[in-house]
Amino acid sequence: MPAEHEEDLVYVKLAECLYRNRTSGTYFAFVKRKGKQIRKSLKTKDRKLAERRLSEFRKQAANLTASPEERRTPFSALAERWLKIHNVHLKPSSADRNVRCVKELNKTFGKLPVSEITKRHCEDWMANRGTGIAASTFNKDALVLRAIFDYAQEDGLILDNPARVVKRRKVVDKEIVIPAREQYERLLEEIGKLDGRASESAKLVQLLALSGMRLGEATRILWREVDFERGQFTVSGGGVGTKNGETRVVPLFPRLRRFLEEVRPEGAGFDQEQIIGIDSTKSALQSACEAGGLPRFTHHSFRHFFVSNAIEAGVDFKTIAAWIGHKDGGILVAKTYGHLRQTHSQEMAKLLA
């Protein structure tokens, strides 16, 4: 029996493009686009609701403008096209993040034709990718996946976005570990015992701890951006940009001034040089923490260290926010850094006696 006759036995036509399954009573849409019949369940047994959904579906089908060959574009090729367009106005760090997300997504979807990727594919990816990684990492990948399929839909390659079934995972705030002053000093001692670039590693840790800068800001700052006469330094991101895209001018704190004066090169011609000669000291930090029996501190721990010291010294949240490059007037500082070190908290608790 011909296929169309089989369909006649299963579905009964009620109106133009509107059919009902004889067995289940569920309504279906049958729409022809570029010579190909598209069938879709309207997921209802209610005639009025089915008619409204049919109307929406026909509008979607009208936007399916790509040829059959174009609709078979591999996901990897579409993702590459999306990257070129979407990354144009992004900061390098944000653009690089998107590139990493696409590289990860291509492991699952890369060779599949865009029009053949279904919700089931996305659900399987969600189940597999969501295991063993941070919620924030999963959410970034999921955001890019949905954006690529939105782009495919706008380009007339697909009817709807199959990745809409992928839900964000709840991000649980990480416990913030702030070095105590004794731990900070111990860490510098342990770093000093390491071979190789121990000197630069110690310089980087001190610059982070005494300035409150982010890692990328601290490793890109130039000597010419430190104005000893005016008592200030400029955080520009070294041409790459700060996290919020704005340059800021920060006071040259007394301890930071002393540190910079100690490590400042002698002679002329160093103004265009970077203060720090390395991009990271992750391995040195890990080795020093293990050797000293210290918690596993990261680069960002010393930004916490700076902010915590400022809070304990009585500096208001709004001023601290301006120093470290937050634009919210201190709201995030109050929320994220408002707690103090346990030792300081205990000392303050004694005042209640």
In this prediction, residue 2 carries a pLDDT of: 45
In this prediction, residue 266 carries a pLDDT of: 83
In this prediction, residue 38 carries a pLDDT of: 74
In this prediction, residue 292 carries a pLDDT of: 93
Residue 108 belongs to some domain of the structure:
yes
336 and 270 within one domain: yes
CA torsion through residues 134, 138, 141, 147, sign = negative
Residue 323 belongs to some domain of the structure:
yes
CA distance linking residue 59 with residue 172, whole number of Å = 40
In this prediction, residue 215 carries a pLDDT of: 93
Which segments of the chain are extended strands (E)?
11-15, 18-21, 27-33, 36-41, 226-227, 232-235, 248-251
251 and 211 within one domain: yes
120 and 14 within one domain: no
Q: Are 321 and 307 in contact (CB under 8 A)?
A: no
Q: Are 226 and 259 in contact (CB under 8 A)?
A: no
Residue 227: Cβ within 10 Å count: 12
Angle at alpha carbon of residue 293, lines to 289 and 177, rounded to 5°: 65
330 and 185 within one domain: yes
Residue 171 belongs to some domain of the structure:
no
Q: How many domains does the chain have?
A: 3
The alpha carbons of the chain give a radius of gyration, in whole angstroms, of 29
Q: Model confidence over 121-132: pLDDT tens digits? A: 999 999 998 777
In this prediction, residue 6 carries a pLDDT of: 53
- Specify the CATH number for the domain of residue 141: 1.10.150.130
Rounding to the nearest 10 degrees, give the CA dihedral for residues 191, 194, 197, 203. 20
Domain housing 248: 181-350
DSSP character at residue 222: B
186 and 318 within one domain: yes
CA distance linking residue 212 with residue 344, whole number of Å = 20
For residues 260-284, b (16+ Cβ closer than 10 Å) or e, as one string? beeeeeeeeeeeeebbbeeeebeeb
DSSP assignment of 312-336 equals: HTT--HHHHHHHHT-SSTTHHHHHH
Q: Model confidence over 55-68: pLDDT tens digits? A: 888 777 766 666 77
> Taking the model in full, what pTM does it have?
0.62
In this prediction, residue 3 carries a pLDDT of: 45
Residue where one domain finishes, among candidates 38, 62, 86: 62
Nearest CA to 182 out of 338, 61, 292, 25 is that of 292
In this prediction, residue 233 carries a pLDDT of: 96
Phi, psi dihedrals of residue 167, rounded to the nearest 5° = -100, 150
Residue ranges of the chain with per-residue pLDDT less than 70: 1-8, 33-36, 62-66, 196-197, 238-245, 268, 337-345, 347, 353
Residue carrying the six token digits 């653009």: 95
